[in-house]
Each structure stands twice: as C-alpha cells, then as structure tokens.
Structure 1
Amino acid sequence: MQRRNIRRLGYLSCALIGCAIAWGIYAMAKPVDEVVLTLGEPYEQVRKQSRSTLPPVEPGAFWAGYINRPAKFRFTDSRYQFVTPAAKFLTVGYDERGNVLSVTLSPQVETLPLDQAVAVMLELQDQLRRHGWHPIRARRFPPIDSTPAMIESIRRGDDPQTFWQAAGKYQVALDIRRFIHENRPKDERYLITLQLSGPPLMEDHLDDN
C-alpha cells in the first residue's frame, strides 16, 4: 500500500512538472498583445488588425479606447514607423467619426529605475531619428540623453520633455519624470510618457533651435 502511494505521488509530481513546462512553453510562444495603427485610420479597423483589449468604439463621440492588458504599440506609417516596448497604460483617441486622432502611452509595464528608463528613452529617440523624425525647439527642449547634467535634471524633478515631428504630418512628445509612491516615498522609480498626434502641430520657433 505504501509503495503504491509513493508511486502515485511520483506520477502526480511528474504530471505537475509536465504541466508547468507546457504552460511555460505556451506563455513564451503566445504572441504579445500589440496595438497597430496609423493616425486617421478607423478605430474599429485598428481593433481588427491589433491583438489587444481595446473596447468597441463609442459612436458619435470624441473618446478614447483603453487597454486593460499590456501591449506594444506599433506605428505603421510606411516612412515614419516605430514600435514601443509593452505598455500597461495605452489609450487610442478618436473623433466623432470614429477615426484615430492620437495615442498616449507609458511604454513600460511598471515604473523603472532611472538607468532603465533613460535606456528606453534613448532607444525610442534613436528609432525616431532613423525613420526621419527631427527634434523641434531643441534649445529649450533638447532630446533626452545620458549626460550627468540631464540625469541630475531628471532626478531633481525637472520632468524634461522633448518634441519630435515628421514632415509636418505627425508629432511625438516624450517626457520622463519621477514617480513617487505614497507608501514608498524614497523608492526612486521613473515613468515615461509618449504622446503621438497629428495637426495642428507645435511651431518650431527658430530661437528654440
């Protein structure tokens, strides 16, 4: 009897281990959620071509769809495309005709240590440069970098911003700021925000370049 129980426990342990391995393989193979769009597309078309939890359109209303499961964002303009890391917060704004106007997201699933947050910002800016975007008002709002002066500016709460445009068609605003949790005020974590929009765009003042 005892041997039979030991054998059963062995079978059960093997089955549990097998299930855990199978679930791990499934989780790794499962496609990551992704919101895929270009500005001006119908919001419902975006829902169909994306793997995401974006809700149905609210007919006849200026509104925004919010995801409730982390998703990457892929901007699919043929010339000015870019992709972000997975975001826990992402909204897609649309007009009363149901066409996409804007996207706002934090390209992270949790607040990040400063070095990791800066690394994400640098990679996003590098994508923009490589795909034809250019910074505007760069004297007043320079691109984020990893210099000691910029790191100190972020740490002391200056909340630096940088603005990028593409051929008068699109604008991206990026900022990085410290996130202070009410229960952990000394925990140094940071949050990035990316906002994508179309015209009207900010004017690129000459005295800011």
Structure 2
Amino acid sequence: MSLIQRMGWRRGVLALAIAALLTSAAIRVLSDDPEIALLIGEPYESMRQRSSASIGPAIAGHSWFSVPKSDARLRFVDSEFGFVTPQARFFTVGFGRDGRIDGVRMSPQVEPLLLNDTLKVVLDLQEQWRKAGWVPIRVEEDPPFADTPEWRAQLRDVNKGGTSYWHAGTQYQVMLVVNRFKDYRHPTEERYLITLSLATPWTNP
C-alpha cells in the first residue's frame, strides 16, 4: 500500500468515526427529550413522521389509540394555539376509522408530584394557553387553577380536586384535572396526578 493510499484509508476511517460520533450525539439528543408533535384532525402518519418519540402505527379502519414507546412530551404544533407539556409517562393518542388523530389523553408528569410541583405544571400550561389565545370556559363552576390558599385546600381534599376547561376558538378544547393520589412509594407525602385531555370542543362555553 502506497503512502497516498494509506493516507486515504486513514481519512476514511476518521470520517467514519466522526460520522458515528455525530450520529450517537443526535440519538442522545432525541432520546433525552422525545416528543410527540401533532395536530388534532391531521393524518396519524403525519404525527409519526414529525415526532422524535417512537409510536406505533394506527390500525386501519378502527377507532382506537396508541401509546408512545418511551416517556415523551406533547408538542401541540398549531401555528396559533400551540403549547408544550412536560414529559409524560401516561400518554395516549387517539385516532378514528379515517386514520386521523381525534384526541389526546395524558398525564404531563412521569410520577405523582408534590403540590408545589403540581401547581407549577398546571399554572405554566394555563399561562401558555392564555398567551396563545385560549379562553377558560365554565369559569363559574370550574375556574382556572391558581396558587391560592383556597385552591390548595380544595386540591388537598381527596373528595374534591379540581378541573379547568379551555377553548381555542371553535377548534380545540382542553380539560385539565388535578386529584390527590396515594403513592405507595411515598406513603407519608401528599402526591397528585394531573390529567390533560385535548380534542375538538365537546362542551359548550
């Protein structure tokens, strides 16, 4: 092997090593922050192609749901009403017989949270919605969450919890629910579960 050939071989090995490192780094970035990025009403396959989290295909001709194969955040990619959640362990994406996404139900957390952390999550989501033009509805019965003594007392009551509804024009609705949860891993602590449902409007303002 000539000197020129040896130099070319070494350059090729170096290029392959660099490519491997870059690929590894890209995989780490995606795996550290996987997300499901979607729109209500879009083809399910469009969501799969856009998302960095892995999720199985829709079942042709069936109304059902799929679950991401890892913890993942939701990125709702509507150009006007978009928002992003924390990572979720419970996360379902529903689809109709037509193969289009018809709803999301998730818990934007990876474990039951303490009350301060729970309020931080729900208040951040509500602030994102306000800034994007979402409007709270049914506020007489179910006002938006707030960090007040009254709200804290209500959430601590295992028989009450809280619910808030929001509309994005006539296009979308979210329901945000918080309840006490008995976490056997932390038996002496007050822990909470958050549930978020997203779909086209199913209640009147």
Same fold (TM over 0.5): yes
Instruction: Tell me which amino acid in the other structure corresponds to 2:132.
Output: H
- Residue segments in structure 2 that go unaligned for 5+ positions in a row: 1-20
What do residues 22-77 of structure 1 show as CA deviations (whole Å, max 9, x unaligned)? 9xx95995221110011111111111110112111111100101113111101111
What value does the CA root-mean-square deviation take over the aligned residues? 1.9
Alpha-carbon contact 1:68-1:88 (below 8 Å) kept: no
Instruction: Tell me which amino acid in the other structure corresponds to 2:167.
Output: Q
Matched with 1:90 is: 91
Matched with 2:61 is: 60
CA distance 1:113–1:41, change in 2 (3 Å): same
- Residue segments in structure 1 that go unaligned for 5+ positions in a row: 1-21, 205-209
Taking structure 2 as the reference length, the TM-score comes to 0.83
SS at match of 2:118: helix
Instruction: Tell me which amino acid in the other structure corresponds to 2:168.
Output: A
Taking structure 1 as the reference length, the TM-score comes to 0.81
- In the alignment, structure 1 residue 171 sits paired with structure 2 residue 173: yes
Q: CA deviation at 1:197?
A: 0.6
Give runs of ≥4 in structure 1 deviating > 2 Å. 25-29, 181-187
Q: How many residue pairs get matched?
A: 180
Matched with 2:200 is: 198
Matches within 5 A, 1:124-163: 124-157=125-158, 158-163=160-165
User: What is the identity percentage for the equivalent residue pairs of Structure 1 and Structure 2?
Assistant: 39
What do residues 163-196 of structure 1 show as CA deviations (whole Å, max 9, x unaligned)? 0001111000001111113565433111111100
Instruction: Tell me which amino acid in the other structure corresponds to 1:156.
Output: D
Alpha-carbon contact 1:34-1:73 (below 8 Å) kept: yes
